[in-house]
Structure 1
Amino acid sequence: MTSVDQSPVTPQPPVTPYVATLVANPAAPALTDAVVRRAAQALPGTPPARWLDAGIAADLVFTPEPGDSPRAIADRLRESVADAPVDVIVQPLLGRRKKLFLADMDSTMIGQECIDELADFVGLKAKVSAITERAMRGELAFEPALRERVALLRGLPVGVVDRIVAERITLTPGGARLVRTMRAHGAYTCLVSGGFTLFTSRIALLTGFHEHRANRLVVKEEHLAGVVEEPILGREAKLATLRELREAHGLALHETLAVGDGANDLAMLEEAGLGVAFRAKPAVAAAAHARVEKADLSALLYIQGYKREDFAAD
């Protein structure tokens, strides 16, 4: 008599489908059929392309090999399209559309570091910029570095902020479209910065954020006192803001998106469902879930699956 193996069969967990999004800069559309085909050939099953915007963005949906991580797959895809100026983001397909968006301001939503521009008015831009760069790379603790730089601004008329915003600050391309499109589709948006409310209040209004949070400079008789109010909003405060807003809106972790470029953004980026390093310092780019280096901020819409026709009007 033949015996029958009665040992239970261990069910295998379902394999989560992934999506690889390839994005070029809208100012220089470089995503061709040939580039997408090379990327597809580097993925299991050579998936067909789903175009989100001709020449700019396309999705490749595939089933990953067991144990393969999004970061490892993204690295392989970058190698496969290395000669093309496109970004590659890999993530689970399900839950890619986010309902909470947090963004850094300096060198992310705008192209400048506001404290460096303030320092230029007292002839100390080079000195302050060097401190800023080291702090953003994680070489200096953020809070004491901020206090040191703010002290150098003592006596500066607060009215220079209006001049800086009008004459020197540039919005990062795609940023306002990103915020307004996410708002139009029901997401909550917050500009959270280690900079200053004198700037975030203006930038949040220009780009359409629901709210903004940043540090407050002490002003006395219309001049900067060289002091920032405590406690300083830095790395841990950004993380706390993400958690607070996620809970306030009853959202799951995977429903959150954050973007930034500096070391004080890392905790927020790591906690978010998808944390994107935007033209970031090397340590930040290496640690974030995804990175955007060549495209503009509209890439964050494409990686959520938005098509060009879904974008809000400028």
Structure 2
Amino acid sequence: MTLVATLIANPARPAITDAVLAETRRVLATGHQPRILHGEVAAEVLVPGAPESAPALAARLRAALGDEPVDVAVLPAGAHRRKRLFLADMDSTMIGQECIDELADTIGLKDRVAAITERAMRGEVAFEPALRERVALLKGLALETVAAVIEERITLNPGGRTLVRTMRAHGAHTVLVSGGFTLFTGPVAERIGFHEHRANRLIVAEGRLTGAVEEPIVGRDAKRETLVALRERLGLDAAETLAVGDGANDLAMLAEAGLGVAYRAKPAVAAAARARVEHGDLTALLYLQGYAAAEFVD
């Protein structure tokens, strides 16, 4: 059996030096030469080993590299390495904000709402009741405010457009699936280039939020069920699926995917995911699939 160890740095801070590659080969006891994916930003090397040894090898390499600003993943080098279905969380993953926190900020309630959001994303409280509680605080907010927040406050995380466009160009189906709201996922999905989006629907009356959300809520179980349903609809093997997220409500989706990636994630999510990205941008998910930068679609 063969594994592949992938090393990824942030494009703004290249760190995959010859010394890092030499140490990687020593620690992983591999005679294979590295394949450079992008200068000193990303590289990979084949490693003999069974899939069950991958987590231990990744942990060993992270420990050896110490404080180097490098993401490490050790994964199977199988036939389904390039995925054909991609599901992505939105808030704090594909975008840099938590949308509900930004809405709350417009009425002076950001600290209160953000505290609930943080606890929910860490898995300290159940997602569904936490969402209902936060949405109730937004009662009376005008739809014009939502549009202003999207225009003035929502920023795309680096590499997201390239990630989605490259996967689409290579035949993957891409879906933005969020515990947030369709009022945001619609515009964000269009800006990034996703095929479709799934999220919660806020109830609106006379141009204002009522403080309620349509049931059932898109939470942890719904995200996983979306992945399973799309996988079956497209006739794909589980190994052909990829998911990325940062919060506790993403855990089931990440576990169900052939490759689940924790992106700048909460500690419990980073610990559970098969791969985690803490230094690289979202193009890291392309390197994990074996894409070289020359293959990217911008």
TM-score range normalised by the length of the shorter chain: over 0.9
Q: Which runs of 5+ in 2 are unaligned?
A: none
Does 1:88 find its partner at 2:88? Answer: no
Partner deviation per Cα, 1:125-159 (whole Å, 9 max, x = no partner)? 00000000000000000000000000000000011
- Quick one: which of 250, 260, 278 aligns to 2:263? 278
The percentage of aligned residue pairs carrying the same residue is 65
Which residue pairs with 1:205 in the alignment? 190
Which residue pairs with 1:21 in the alignment? 6
Shift of 1:46: 3.7
- Quick one: which of 51, 54, 73 aligns to 2:57? 73
**CA 105–22 in structure 1, closer or farther in 2 if over 3 Å, else same:** same
Which residue pairs with 1:34 in the alignment? 19
Contact 1:105 1:200 in 2 (8 A): yes
Which residue pairs with 2:208 in the alignment? 223
How does the TM-score come out when normalised to structure 1?
0.93
Distance in 1 (alpha carbons) for counterparts of 2:12 and 2:84: 27
| Residue pairs, 1:1-314, within 5 angstroms | 16-64=1-49, 68-94=52-78, 95-313=80-298
Contact 1:103 1:260 in 2 (8 A): yes
Contact 1:194 1:215 in 2 (8 A): yes
Shift of 1:29: 1.1
Pairs aligned (count): 297
Distance in 2 (alpha carbons) for counterparts of 1:96 and 1:78: 22
Contact 2:178 2:200 in 1 (8 A): yes
Partner deviation per Cα, 1:73-114 (whole Å, 9 max, x = no partner)? 111111121131010011000121100000000000000000
Question: Matched residue of 2:176: which SS?
Answer: strand
The residue type paired with residue 142 of structure 1 is F
Distance in 1 (alpha carbons) for counterparts of 2:148 and 2:127: 26
Instruction: Give the number of the structure whose residues are more often helix, by fraction.
Output: 2
Runs of 4+ displaced beyond 4 Å: none
The residue type paired with residue 262 of structure 1 is G
Contact 2:3 2:48 in 1 (8 A): yes
Question: Matched residue of 2:115: which SS?
Answer: helix
Distance in 2 (alpha carbons) for counterparts of 1:245 and 1:189: 10
Contact 1:71 1:290 in 2 (8 A): no
Question: Matched residue of 1:115: which SS?
Answer: helix
Shift of 1:269: 0.2
Question: Matched residue of 1:312: which SS?
Answer: coil
Distance in 1 (alpha carbons) for counterparts of 2:216 and 2:201: 10
How does the TM-score come out when normalised to structure 2?
0.98
Distance in 2 (alpha carbons) for counterparts of 1:282 and 1:124: 26
Bigger CA radius of gyration: 1
Q: Which runs of 5+ in 1 are unaligned?
A: 1-15
Distance in 1 (alpha carbons) for counterparts of 2:153 and 2:209: 19
Distance in 1 (alpha carbons) for counterparts of 2:120 and 2:90: 15
Question: Matched residue of 1:69: which SS?
Answer: helix
